[in-house]
Structure 1
Amino acid sequence: MNSIDLTPLYRNSVGFDRFANLVDSALNTESVTTAYPPYNIEVLDDNRYAITLAVAGFELSHLDIVVEKNILSVKGKKPETDEKREYLYHGIATRTFERKFHLADFVEVSRADLDKGLLTIELVKEVPEAMKPKMIEINQPAAEAIEHKVA
């Protein structure tokens, strides 16, 4: 198992515990992960992203999207049917799946659309005004207080 020492990061940083947990989680995850369903992650502009999953054969009622603690979870489950089919070749997978994506702070889901077998989830990063950088004014004593009176 690989290990990364993040001690140098902590010498000059505060509040990166979530980052360390993310790195640790990535290193401890099984190296064999399922590729189903395939997906794309796009950058639409500076603060907008889209995740598109190929979910052929799934209807809206078969899909769930949940965001909890900065983890976007997409689940698909087809209901059991009594219909028996005989396939010569069965290449379109419609099995149950769960795909998780770690979201950065302040990234929120803005919408989700299902069109032609593609589930597109749009994300937007909206940093609250209180968290944005702000200029701090440096005060100087008034000019009168600086002047020394010569007696």
Structure 2
Amino acid sequence: MTALDFTPLFRSAIGFDRLVSALESSYRSETGGYPPYDIEVTGDDTYRISMAVGGFSEQELDVQVKESVLTVSGAHKDDAKEKERRFLYRGIATRNFERRFHLADYVKVVDARIEDGLLHIDLVREIPEAMKPRKVEIRTGSGSLLEGKAEKAAA
């Protein structure tokens, strides 16, 4: 099977077209690649992306969020000293890169830092109060609260 069919989803769900396009693009994308990274769940609504960026300085890395897409890129600046160096073997990857991560609604980047050759990007999902579940009081036909009657009957 080379394609996913989301037709059943569209019959009963509205507004999930962005989710479907994200699933389709991740299905088509290659696994692996450079640089290697981990995605970690650090709490109920917190996450961390750790990316191996050894050999890159802070100035050579760029972290941007635009339209729910987190883009991490690294570009080595051409240095005269680098051109003068001669290698017998070059096994340390120094190529430029760009990684994209699609963020769910209400997921925000809160921190990015380099530590021991790893770029750590902390994310948090902040659901607005209006979107959180809330208790709805049930009234009877006479307009009194059911909770109030239950409390009086218990007393």
Structure 2 residue 43 is matched with structure 1 residue 50: no
Structure 1: give runs of 5+ residues left out of the alignment: 145-151
**1:148 aligns to what?**
none
Identity of aligned residues (%): 46
Q: TM-score, normalised by structure 2?
A: 0.83
User: What is the TM-score normalised by the length of structure 1?
Assistant: 0.85
Q: SS in structure 1 opposite 2:24?
A: helix
RMSD: 1.9
Amino acid of the structure 1 residue aligned with 2:103? L
Matched residue of 2:100: which SS? strand
Displaced runs of 4+ in structure 1, greater than 3 A?
A: none
Q: Which residue of 1 aligns with 2:152?
A: none
Partner of 1:16: 16
- 1:75 corresponds to: 73
In 2: Cα distance, 1:46 partner to 1:123 partner = 11
Which of residues 35, 38, 46 in structure 2 aligns to 1:37?
35
Paired residue total: 142
1:34 deviates by 6.0
Do the aligned partners of residues 37 and 141 (structure 1) sit closer, same or farther apart at CA in structure 2, a change above 3 Å counting?
A: same
Q: CA deviation at 1:5?
A: 1.7
AA aligned to 2:136 is I
> Do structure 1's residue 142 and structure 2's residue 142 form an aligned pair?
yes
Displacement of 1:63 in angstroms is 0.6
Please report how far the alpha carbon of residue 11 of structure 1 lies from its aligned counterpart in structure 2 after TM superposition: 2.0
As a proportion of its length, which structure holds more helix?
2
- The Cα shift of 1:139 comes to 2.9
| Structure 1 position 100, deviation (Å) | 0.7
In 2, Cα distance between equivalents of 1:70 and 1:88: 44
Segments of 5+ residues of structure 2 without an aligned counterpart are 145-155
SS at match of 1:110: strand
